Amino acid sequence: PPSPPTMAADLMEIDDSLYRYVYLFLSHTFLISFLCSRQRYVLGDSAMHQMAQSSVFLSGMGGLGVEIAKNIVLAGVKAVTLHDTKQCETWDLGCNFFIHKEDVFNQRRRVEVVCPRVAELNPYVHVDTSLCPLDDNTDLSFLRKYQCVILTEARLISLHLCDAFGICVRVFCDFGEEFEVSDPTGEEPKEIFIQNISQDNPGVVTCMDNQPHGLQTGQSVIFREVGGMEELNGSVRQATVLSPHSFSIGDTAHLHSYAHGGYFVLVKTPKTFRFETLEQQLYDPQLLIPDFSKPEVSLKNIHVAMLALETFQEQHSRLPNIGYFCIFVSLCFLASTFYLIIGPLQSLSPEEFLPRGDRYDALRACIGESMCIELQKLRVFMVGCGAIGCEMLKNFALLGVGLARSSGEVCITDPDLIEKSNLNRQFLFRPHHLQKPKSTTAAEATRNINPDMQVDAHLNKVCPATESIYNDSFYSGLNLVVTALDNVEARRYVDSRCVSNQRALLDSGTMGTKGHTEIIVPNLTESYNSHRDPPEEEIPFCTLKSFPSVIEHTIQWARDKFENAFVHKPSMYNAFWQTHSSAEVVLLRMQAGESLESSFQVIKLMSRQPSQWEQCIAIARLKFEKYFKRKALQLLHSFPLDTRLKDGSLFWQSPKRPPTPIEFDLQDPLTSIKLSRILSEVKIPEYRPLEKCIETDETAKKPDQVKLPLSSEEEREAILHLEQAISTDRVTPECLRMSPLQFEKDDDSNGHIDFITAASALRAKTYNIEPADRLKTKRIAGKIIPAIATATAAVAGLVALELIKVVGGYGFESFKNCFFNLAIPVFVLTEPAAVKKTPIRNNIYFSIWDCWTIFGHEDFTLSEFMNAVREKYGLEPTMVVHGVKMLYVPVMPGHSKRLKVT
């Protein structure tokens, strides 16, 4: 290897005590940038604040650099300086999505082209340019003002600090000799309730209901609300994992015996990492093993090949001739896929890789001209145009997917509109696109990257209701399907359509810094529906209603109250008055003893409908009294603090928390003078406990309140209210119409999140639960999946690689599913699960992909159909079904007559 670069050492000497200069060598295939409002849920407020104060120097505006620039600006740093000295070339069009044909024609500088287009991604980030050369004669003191330096395509002495050849790429990060990471895993700690703690040496903690603790040996936990063994409360103990549901915590023999309750939380312990220098790593690199099924395969051959190329370029000021260069790339491809014999690449002649002076020269050098043509002829259906969809469309444009006018096309569909929260990771969209359709906007942006792209944008949801559009004929015209979805059910449906029409499916997803890709190939792999994830755990009804124990319970309770008050009740109200012609008719029918569904709830709503601001305040005051005082009093009346279960144990023990009624404080400084006057005039009825049954069974479902029988007193009260409303002329057309409010988490002016945050915090206070701030409440109530642009770019790049393999007709062992967690980091490639084949008899097998076709005629009878099966497959049909319908079962009376039916 060449001698180590002196410039890297110079950078560190500028001011090592203040700054850590970082070199990140990245590609748009494996994007692992350490600078990454869903993002806030991944990194937290502290990291977001630090990024917002950081300035970054990024050198090299090729495909690597522009991908990094995109993600850094989306992440929201303070400022970015883009550095480059090269002009736009045709080669750039195949990897830099911000460079267009006219930029090449006009011989513009890359950095001048890229800068305004990168800056457009985030108006809060200051983006400027630098054209100064970076060499031994450059005074590097200007780098003092940057917290991070990222070099791509930078040549220091005899070394390219960043290279990407085909799918092969290397990443080297220099954080100094050691670097402290405050959160080594990026996982949010959970409160885990305790079943038992043994009084022993070592003491063993057992989790309640065999709930997995998710700990690793050596991690520390802090204990809260432990009954009996109270010395543990507030203490931090190191855990030694014994099983997924138990761990030891050292000597507890001298403590009081455990009585009941309590929970523990993982303590985030900062971890110090130590690093070798670039010089040491060049001589002996430590490489991740991406495929644990083949740990013996070393990627150091690629490392050596890259160093050889660098030496060649240093000596000759150029890369090897294209033929030799393409052989190198092919060897890298083979090495990275673990020395498999890849037929499509082996059969290509050297001419296949030669440049032709167009935007696909870089791609052609990797996969050859024939494969490029096959990509252009592809007909792809992509479902979803969100974060992953935007990245995939960019990759399609750079790969030239579906641009052949006679046969190629990329069809995309998404019913959603662009929201503000999309802009930090769905990079094809800009602020002026808000409330425009995602699909049509993404299609237009994709054509800006590659004007030759054939993109057909739809606004439909892919579901049974749209099977008239996305029918068998539609799927039969496709080569493959790509999903960019955010829910399991939609994935399952698309998968079922792909299986029935024998089409390959490429699926991917992210959650925070984690990502997965799955490839599904007809007749080779299992389908998405072949495996089932465990169902999402629902909060029991009785827990939500009476026994919350963690903040998620109070947030869900508040979310349900919002839905009930502002969506369900107004919708029910409107539906009732659309069914019944007038209030007078309803009154007559009720007076005649008729039972009208929802009538009591509707009339109750009508009688309480506020018309003035003061009335709204009064209703809110009564709601406060009901939910945060009286409900608690009633619960304590039904279950006093000394209540015991049949086995003698206390009813109120963890995870059940006894409530504390909240007294409304009129003197609270947060209450304005105006509100104080209104609130002081609200009459609060005297509280009297009811003898009612409170549900404690965690398996019980929420009852259907609409169908609950009404007492005669409630019916008389409803009739009286309606009579009064009619007699006082309060029943107007406006009075018989309400406007339901659909929950919208991203509009900070509508008060929806504020309502849920306040209601949740009050309920948390009632049950002595630590309240959540507005941000956490928004994440949980809005069911926001944490997202970060880097993980999204990574899964899209991995899917694009598998797409090339599908098009090339590669064998089963070439395909790879992937799981990664960029925070740790873990990067695992696995072979897809092979399709299961069920033997029927002799050499006849059946799998999910098999489609046995019988061709009949217009008068084809059931008997003829069965005979055709006998003749074609040598099988004796025992019954004929269609879905869940039995068409022919010999033992069923009358079924024999069906044999003559067409």
Locus of tokens 């906007």: 441
Q: How far is CA 94 from CA 63, 100, 362, 791, in A?
A: 8, 10, 6, 22
Contact 157, 257 (CB under 8 A): no
542 is catalytic: yes
* 3-state secondary structure (DSSP) of residue 514: strand
Q: 411 has which bridge partners?
A: 381, 456
> Of the candidates 479, 451, 483, 448, which has an alpha carbon nearest to the alpha carbon of residue 377?
479
Query: Among residues 95, 372, 385, 542, which one is catalytic?
Result: 542
Instruction: Compute the C-alpha angle 197/200/206, nearest 5°.
Output: 25
Helix (H), strand (E), coil (C) string for 704-717: CHHHCCCCHHHHHH
Say which amino acid occupies 867: N
Contact 766, 746 (CB under 8 A): no
Tokens standing for 607?
């009688």
Helix (H), strand (E), coil (C) string for 14-30: CCCCCCCCCCCCCCCCC
Cα 350 to chain centroid distance, Å, stands at 43
Give CA–CA dist 39/74, Å, rounded: 10
Give CA–CA dist 247/205, Å, rounded: 5
Q: 527 has which bridge partners?
A: none
Q: What's the alpha-carbon Rg for the chain, to the nearest Å?
A: 33
Q: How far is CA 678 from CA 613, 617, 630, 683, 684, in A?
A: 10, 7, 21, 11, 13
DSSP 124-185: TSEEEEE----STTS-GGGGGG-SEEEESS-EETTEES--EETTEE-------SEEEES-SS
Give CA–CA dist 368/400, Å, rounded: 13
Contact 507, 518 (CB under 8 A): yes
3-state percent helix, strand, coil for the chain, nearest multiple of 5 = 40, 15, 45
Per-residue DSSP letter, 650: B
Give CA–CA dist 25/152, Å, rounded: 6
Contact 822, 791 (CB under 8 A): yes
Contact 550, 264 (CB under 8 A): no
Give CA–CA dist 604/717, Å, rounded: 9
Contact 239, 221 (CB under 8 A): yes
Q: Nearest 5°: phi and psi at 345?
A: -80, -35
Tokens standing for 781?
């109530």
Tokens standing for 355?
């440049």
Contact 396, 402 (CB under 8 A): yes
Catalytic residue numbers? 542
